[in-house]
Amino acid sequence: MLIDDVMTDKITLHGLGFVQVQLQGNQRLHVWHPELPRRTCFEHSAIHDHRFDFVSRVLIGEQRNIEYADVWKDEGDYVMYLHEGARTEKGGRPWVPDGRTDMVALFDNVIRAGQSYKQGAYKYHRTEPQGDGRVATIMQKTYEGQKGAHSTCRVGVAPDSDFDRFQWSPAQLWEVVSDVLLGQQVTP
């Protein structure tokens, strides 16, 4: 069974370890919390790109953003996986192998509460919540491209195409948002 697009849901879990809340004006609230599940291959697949430009403002905590250049190589350390097509019943898009590459870190910045950073479409990066792992950001999309985004995964590591974005109920996800924004305790 395929669903049209989980992104129309008001609140969802993302495999990179954050809650995503849809807002008006092409904006999203992203909330990281150390109790949230991540895809099983997370340590090997956190580097990704987006099909849109965005500006992200850190509201709470500190967020580390590392930008990468991809160096296409037949023998690269990473497999690039294209995410296009209809979402599955678990809310993810297919992981379609799309070549190999090496990743070279270009910029490594820590963005504090009150600061913003920009990320270009189809530019690889990964984010890491700092401190106690509780971070909230407001992300606003600007330009949006037409081709799908990519995730990378180290060669020899299987991507987690079965990550279930619906494994926590909306009520549980709102508890996480409340914990980070208001400092209340989460009960997973």
Cβ contacts of residue 26 below 8 Å, gap of 6+?
140, 141, 142
How many whole angstroms separate alpha carbon 63 and alpha carbon 83? 25
Give yes or no for a contact between 175 and 31, defined as CB atoms under 8 angstroms apart: no
Which amino acid would we find at residue 65?
N
Please indicate, yes or no, if residue 46 is contained in any of the structural domains: yes
The structure tokens listed for 67 are 């930008």
Please indicate, yes or no, if residue 110 is contained in any of the structural domains: yes
Give yes or no for a contact between 99 and 53, defined as CB atoms under 8 angstroms apart: no
Q: Cα 165–112–22 angle (5° rounding)?
A: 30
Please indicate, yes or no, if residue 138 is contained in any of the structural domains: yes
Please indicate, yes or no, if residue 96 is contained in any of the structural domains: yes
Cβ contacts of residue 169 below 8 Å, gap of 6+?
none
How many whole angstroms separate alpha carbon 56 and alpha carbon 137? 6
Q: Residue 170: phi, psi to the nearest 5?
A: -55, -40
The CATH number of the domain holding residue 113 is 2.60.120.10
Query: What's the total number of domains in the chain?
Result: 1
The pTM is what? 0.89
Please indicate, yes or no, if residue 187 is contained in any of the structural domains: no
How many whole angstroms separate alpha carbon 123 and alpha carbon 64? 16
Give yes or no for a contact between 110 and 62, defined as CB atoms under 8 angstroms apart: yes
Please indicate, yes or no, if residue 28 is contained in any of the structural domains: yes
Please indicate, yes or no, if residue 188 is contained in any of the structural domains: no
pLDDT means per 10 residues, the chain with 188 residues, are: 49 95 95 96 93 96 96 88 86 89 96 97 97 97 91 94 93 96 66
How many whole angstroms separate alpha carbon 153 and alpha carbon 79? 5
Please indicate, yes or no, if residue 34 is contained in any of the structural domains: yes
- 62 DSSP 8-state letter: E
Place of tokens 């079965």: 162
User: Which domain covers residue 14, as residue numbers?
Assistant: 2-182
How many whole angstroms separate alpha carbon 157 and alpha carbon 154? 6
